[in-house]
Structure 1
Amino acid sequence: MAELNALSTEDRVAIDRVYERLSGRTHYEVLAVSPDSSWEAITQAVRDLRKRLDVTRFVGVPTEEYSRRIELVLRALDQAVEVLGDPVRRFLYDQQLRRGEGRREETPSPVRPAVTPIPRRPSGAPPRMDPGSQAPDPVARPPAGDSPLVVPAPLRKDAAGTGGSSAPGPRSSNNRPSMIPPPPSGGARLGSVAPTPMLAPPNAERRDLDSLLVEVERIAVSVQFCIAQILDPQAARVSALENAGQALADTRAALASIQARRDEEAGRWHEATANWLRATRARPRDAVLLARLAECHHRMGDLQAADDVARRALAVDSGCEAAKAVLTALSRR
């Protein structure tokens, strides 16, 4: 009866062909389209694959293995639409492919039921007593010796404040220490491991800010590329990308200015000049940023660059006092 209800050979071959394209492939290879395909071609490929993998169109009932393959293929189609449907994410994904990244992971193997190992009782442990021969406990405690993941519950105190018998019983080697952290006011719990404090490496804040600057630069470049190429055919979304590009430019300038001021306080004038230059490239019409860059050039001894940048600042804002001060200091030399 199972053979009569099995999938046809044509359906199995169709599922296998798409399933084989999942392991270590790109989204384009999964959809069987070229990387320069239009969004219309991509949506048509997704529509055809979904139609071909529709369970209601199969001749027969898919087995558990083929049902799992269909689920993985449909999940891969959703991921491809999510990445390739957004112009910015598609551009970043194409950049990853050029660097040799962005391929899908290996297809996971079928999930098998986990087998829970039964802990062996040590030879030196006392024999288990009959539950009927033990005295009744007012609070039932979980069998801590049967499972290493069970934490024994504390004894409940009665009205007199006593906590029951305080004599420790025999401890099995299978019982692991409790992972409950000790209270803040008390000492360390017996049998627990105190967490090791993670010491921050030197200049960790500066490295975090540098990595954030790199990330902002990468996003800004991708947005500007999308604006130039007009990847999205909808004109309404292009204006949104322009607004996003301006916001990212302001963010780049702000982050670079923060880092430049910190470099100036630490006496790192080379780094400060580079960061002020990065800020002025993000906002080339900001007279304040241009004046700060001119001051750094003047401190570094690059008088010609200081004069050029100060005059650019005055061209943007004729009343910029910082730029005038730089030109006045240069005229005295």
Structure 2
Amino acid sequence: MHGPPGGEELVESLGSGKFLFSLVISYTETCEIPGITAAGAAPELFQYTPPADAEFLHYGRCRSIDGIPMTPDGKPTPALLTKAALESASIPHVVIGAGSKVPPMMPYMETGLHWGGNITQGPAMARDDLLRAIDYGRIIGRTLSSLTDCLVIGESIPGGTTTALGVLRGLGRKARVSSSMPENPVELKEHVVENALRRGVSEDPFSVAASLGDPMIPVVAGMASGACGSSKVLLAGGTQMAAVLALGEKLGIGGGVAVATTSYVVDDESADLVESVGAAGVPVISVDPLLSKSKEPGLRAFSEGFAKEGAGAGGAITAAMLKTGTGPREFLPLAEDEYRRVLSAQ
């Protein structure tokens, strides 16, 4: 547990409760900047990563692409960890489309939002579209929270840490964000955001988020603000959730909210998740899935800096452990079994 007080009480209150996992899939053209992300085997496949993650959680395979999102050398999507965790604890899940460039081939909730633009070329979205995204998120959050004791909200959006940095910088936060790559392209991200900031920054936080962010951020912020009045909320993600909370402060996100992520993000020296989230008065729950001890190189890669987090993996693992009363030692063989199943089906 890290950051402001309240996290321990939140964890204790969830021990015997019901969980519902939600995955918000989105897209930003910012991810097409060379070197920004590794969220896909090749740049032309980035747009398929979010729907493929969603399909994998449901089917155990993907329909938008062959196989699952995986690098050529066998490093899988973090959705593999998410799926193993949710299935181990029989936690239901739902997918929300929030500007995904490619729709998933499965039932899901659709907001009708357009994907985000490249922030170096112009605003990510119109301010009115951002306000609509927040409103739709609130509706979804209120609806889903009525079905559960704890709503877990994850995301899948390639390049999302860069747009998160844009929102944080635009709102005056000196935060540092993580990366899906072992070597965080910090200088490139800073350069991208600095160029975007040269367009001029409004003092209005909603205009800032519309200009420098992506559709996922306002939808998740809206979901959290709509849900926190009737259920607990776990924001399942890394440094992107700092941007969600920075915008969420303007929406009145209350207590009963925590960020749940993997230890790989918390321990990332190129980022400052705990400090960034703590600025919003929200605690961070981190879990070490013990992937460094895995027999599978593709899983060990997570502990070596690849991906670190994604598709709500840290929050899903946390929720599963709270529900079942188990720990990382019980989770590791489940993740290995799922990894072997996927490889055998490739």
TM-score for the superposition, normalised by structure 1: 0.19
Higher relative contact order (CA 8 A, sep 6+): 2
Which structure has the larger Rg?
Answer: 1
More helix by share: 1
